[in-house]
Amino acid sequence: MPNTQAPRTAGKHRRLVLITGVTRGLGCAMAKEFARLGHVVIGCGRSVNALRELESGLGDAHRFDLIAVTDDARVRTWASEVVASHGAPELLVNNAAQVNRNAPLWEISAPEFDVVIDVNIKGVANVIRHFVPAMLKSGRGVIVNFSSGWGRTSSAEVAPYCATKWAIEGLTRALAQELPRGMAAIPLNPGIIDTDMLRRSFGDAARNYPSPQQWATLAVPFLLKLGPKDNGKPLTVA
Ligand SMILES: NC(=O)c1ccc[n+]([C@@H]2O[C@H](COP(=O)([O-])OP(=O)(O)OC[C@H]3O[C@@H](n4cnc5c(N)ncnc54)[C@H](OP(=O)(O)O)[C@@H]3O)[C@@H](O)[C@H]2O)c1
C-alpha cells in the first residue's frame, strides 16, 4: 500500500493521526474527517476493499494497511514501516473493537469471549507497545483509547464488552502515569452512534442515534484539541 512521505504545508501544521479500525463505523468517519481538515491519516483494518476505497478516495498522502491489531508481530512490522515512511504519530486513536452477541455471560463460549478480549484489550496494548516508543522519542503525542458508556456503567448481555472497556479505562489511566510530561493518554467515551456495532447490540433502535459522519464533525475537532492538560482524564465526546 502507498508509502509516501507525509507532506507539510508552510505555516499550517498537519497532524499525523493513526487510527485503528478505519474500514467502517467511527474509524472510517474519523479518517475521512481528519483528511478533509488537511491532516494525514494512517489507518488499518481487516477489510481489504474498504481500505482500497479509502486509499483511492483520500489520496497518497495517507496510508491504509491490512492489519489485525491482534497480531502483535504484524503490528510491530507495521509500526516500523509507518515510522520510517511518515514519522511518529502525533495522535494515536485506538478505535478498533468488537462487541459480543447479546447473551448472558454463561452463554458466551470461550472462543467468543477470547475475540472480544483479544481485540479490545490485547489489540490496544499491541498498538501501544509498538508505536509509543517512537512517540516517546519525538517527545510529544496524544494516545486516545476508545472506551464506552459501558466502560463506566454496565448492562445485561454485554459482560465481555463491559469487561474490556472497564479494562481500557484502567489501562489508559495507568499509562497516563507512565508517560513523560508533554504527552497524554486519554480514555474516551465516544457517545452512542449508529454503526454496525451499535446495531449488533441495539438492533433497529440504533437508527435513533447520529450517523458516524454527523458524529465525526464534532468528534474530530474535539480530538484535535486534546493535549497534555487532559492526561489521564476519562472524557466523553460532547
Ligand atoms: N457505536 C457506538 O455507539 C459506540 C459506543 C461506545 C463505544 N464505541 C467504541 O467506538 C469504537 C468504534 O466502534 P464502531 O461503532 O465504529 O464499531 P464498528 O462499526 O463495528 O467498527 C469497528 C472497526 O474496528 C475494526 N476491527 C475489528 N476488529 C479488528 C481487528 N482485529 N483488527 C483491526 N481492526 C479491527 C473493524 O474493521 P474490520 O472488520 O475491517 O477489521 C471496523 O473498522 C470501538 O472502540 C467501540 O467500542 C462505539
pLDDT, mean of residues 161-189:
98
Secondary structure (DSSP) of 30-79: HHHHHHHTT-EEEEEES-HHHHHHHHHHH-TTSEEEE--TT-HHHHHHHH
Predicted TM-score (pTM) of this structure: 0.96
Q: Is 161 a catalytic residue?
A: yes
Nearest to 151 by CA among 161, 171, 165, 137: 165
pLDDT for res 100: 98
pLDDT, mean of residues 144-173:
98
pLDDT, mean of residues 92-116:
98
The mean pLDDT value of the chain amounts to 95
199 CB under 6 A from ligand 1? no
pLDDT band at 1 (very low <50, low <70, confident <90, very high): very low
Nearest to 147 by CA among 132, 162, 158: 162
Residue that has been written with the C-alpha cell 458466551 in this structure: 108
CA distance linking residue 109 with residue 107, whole number of Å: 6
pLDDT band at 12 (very low <50, low <70, confident <90, very high): low
CB atoms within 10 A of CB 70: 18
- 9 CA distance to ligand 1 middle (Å): 32
97 CB under 6 A from ligand 1? yes
Would the pLDDT of 82 be above 70? yes
pLDDT for res 238: 81
CA distance linking residue 69 with residue 149, whole number of Å: 23
- 26 CA distance to ligand 1 middle (Å): 7
pLDDT band at 13 (very low <50, low <70, confident <90, very high): confident
Q: Which atom of ligand 1 lies closest to the CA of 192? A: 3
- 99 CA distance to ligand 1 middle (Å): 8
Q: Are 141 and 90 in contact (CB under 8 A)?
A: yes
Tell me the per-residue pLDDT of 198-230, one tens digit each, with 9 for 90 and over.
Answer: 999 999 999 999 999 999 999 999 999 999 999
Cα radius of gyration rounded to whole Å, the chain: 17
pLDDT for res 18: 98
Q: Which of 161, 183, 219, 220 is catalytic?
A: 161
pLDDT for res 2: 44
233 CB under 6 A from ligand 1? no
126 CB under 6 A from ligand 1? no
- 21 CA distance to ligand 1 middle (Å): 6
